[in-house]
Every structure is written in structure tokens, then in C-alpha cells.
Amino acid sequence: MNPNPRESFPVDLTLYGDVVSPWCWLAEKRVLQAVKLLDGYFAPLRHAPFPLRPEPAAPSPAERRGMAREVRKAARQPDGAFLSPDLWTTGDAPSCSVPALVALAAARMQGAHWEEVLRERLREAALVAGLNVSRHDVLIEVAARSGLQMDRFVAALHAPGTERAVLDDYQEAVENGVEAVPALVIGEEWLVCGAREAGEYLEILRRYIESRSGLGGSQVVH
């Protein structure tokens, strides 16, 4: 046993996700609820990009129906009633979800707070208002309304290195076993796949604390 178990904390948490995924939005809210109840054990939640649509290609009718179905399913959750499938049922569905993730990386250069603000605004634009957040004009408008310094944001958005960093993070996630989102990585040891209820996240994080304080070990939570 570790004689000073609290020396092993706080533990890093990384949530892989995409702004067009309703389940990632709900997963974040639920993880944050659990972390708040376990005050002091976990570092602030870090987000990492994992695009649902990494390659630019117009979604087929079947893909659009599938994505809309997932949003409707998430909207039936008690904490998801605000979600709308309009993004996938109107004529302007995103062909690629990378641009929105690049925008978040550009916002991060102005500080973690601004990345968080823009993520929330992009989610609202996509999953409430049904706007195509892969479009440059939509990204610029949402960023401006979010209060970012637009000259810095636009420069970072257009810089080739910003998109390259997002794609590198995505490739690293794939190599580390992430196959879909949301995916929560706890302490670079445990991988929790799929959206869970808030109580389940709390139980998983408690189990990790017990493991970290005692035997430790790696685990994938299916």
C-alpha cells in the first residue's frame, strides 16, 4: 500500500470527443458532476479531439438518418431534452467535423477558458440551432460572438500547424485504442468507452481512486 495515497492525486482526466456528438456533451456534464463529488482527486477535465467525420465527404442519406437518430436518442435522456437533430435533417449537414475541432485548438491559444467557451457555443450552434459548424463563416461568427480576439483566432485557424496538431492528436488516440466517442481516459491507465450515466461515472472514478491508492493497474471499462 502507498503510505501517502493522496500523493498520487490529483489524477489527469481526458475526454476524447467531437462537438457534433450529443453523447460527448452529455458525457462531459456527467463526468464533471462526478468529479465535483470527488473533490481533490482529479485534475480539471482535459478535452482531446476525436472527429466523428475525419474525412471530408458529403454524408449519405443513411448516415444522416443515423446521426439524427443518435441525437433523438440522446434527447430522450433527462439531461438531453434541449438537443435537436436539425443539424442532420436540414440540407446543410457537415461533411467533416475536423474544422470545428481546429477552431477549438485555435481558441486554446488564447487560454483554456476561451476554448471552453467556444466549445459550448459550437455545441449550441450544432446541436440546438442546427448550424453547420464545419463552415468557415459559421466558425468565424460563433467565435466572434464568444468574445475571442478575432485577429489571433483567424490567424491560428488558418495556420497549417493547427489542423496538423488536431489530426496528430486524433491519430495518437486511435493508436492508443480509442475507437469511438465519447471516450474517457483516467490517469493514462483506464479507458472508459461510451457515454455513461452520472452515477456510473462516479462509481468508475471511485474504483479508480481505490485502485490508485492500493494495487493500481490498467483497465478498459466496456
pLDDT single digits (tens) 53-97: 999 999 999 999 999 999 999 999 999 999 999 999 988 999 999
Residue partners of 104: CB distance under 8 A and separation at least 6: 19, 47, 49, 115, 118, 119, 122
pLDDT in tens, 147-198: 999 999 999 999 999 999 999 999 999 999 999 999 999 999 999 999 999 9
**DSSP structural state of residue 43:** P
Query: In this predicted structure, what is the pLDDT of residue 142?
Result: 98
Mean pLDDT of 3-25: 86
Query: In this predicted structure, what is the pLDDT of residue 1?
Result: 39
More confident site: 165 or 222 = 165
Residue 217, pLDDT > 60, answer no
The CA distances from residue 46 to 12, 94, 95, 184, in Å, are 8, 25, 26, 10
**DSSP structural state of residue 6:** G
